[in-house]
A and B are shown apart, each in its own frame.
Chain A
């Protein structure tokens, strides 16, 4: 399932609405997915900046700028959520008696 539809690529961290946690992906593809997610925050941010300045200079449309802002915002939120889930999972593991 494409969980980060905003950059049009399929991530391996599915998030279901209403569920409390992310399914744990295989460690093989995990680092790559995370790196891609962080990269997408950079990308969407850059696109948003570009779209907004384009709009302000009178070349771009307002709705394009608004959409770019939304995508940047949602991508960031997604990344933060994934990070939170990771931290949670890590803490759970650390709490397990050896």
Chain B
């Protein structure tokens, strides 16, 4: 008897992918505005995303409640502690590229696990054929 149900595992992996995708989108937006005067770099707000996830609690296994973050997706906030340039822009190109690479890796890992999980389930359903 497994401690984590299959449904919870799928939901958790899906959530990981959603967050990773959101990190990529946010970083891409930052990079697109690397030269925009006054633009403040943003990032995914993990604290609020986690809160939303926990708040939806037991319902995460129910497909109708998958969007724990709501239609808008994971919450974002301004990145703190960045040095602003003369025009007020705080985007650091290297930092964003690194974040995108990391998020890509996290997404890939979750996807690999999820694909393997689906394969196992299919295998079980088809009696090992």
Contact = CB atoms under 8 A, between A and B. Distances in A.
Given A1-B1, A5-B10, A63 B21 contact: yes
A38 interface: no
B123 A17 contact: yes
A1 B3 CA distance: 11
Interface stretch (A25-33, A71-79, A90-98): A71-79
A9 to B, nearest CB: 8
Contact of B63 (A7, A15, A18, A59): A7
B128 interface: yes
A14 to B, nearest CB: 10
B111 to A, nearest CB: 7
Interface stretch (B38-46, B77-85, B114-122): B114-122
Given A17-B128, A77-B126, A61 B18 contact: yes
B124 interface: yes
A8 B61 contact: yes
Contact of A67 (B6, B114, B123): B114
A68 B68 CA distance: 16
Interface of B is mostly: helix
Interface residues of B, number: 28
Interface size class of A (residues with CB under 8 A): 20 to 34
Given A44-B63, A67-B114, A81-B127, 16 more contacts: A5-B6, A5-B7, A6-B121, A8-B8, A15-B127, A16-B124, A17-B123, A17-B127, A59-B71, A61-B17, A61-B21, A64-B66, A67-B14, A71-B63, A77-B122, A81-B126
8 contacts: A2-B6, A6-B6, A6-B10, A8-B5, A18-B127, A44-B63, A64-B18, A81-B127
Top 8 A-B residue pairs of the complex, sorted by shortest distance between their CB atoms: A5-B6, A8-B61, A8-B7, A17-B124, A18-B128, A5-B7, A63-B17, A78-B125
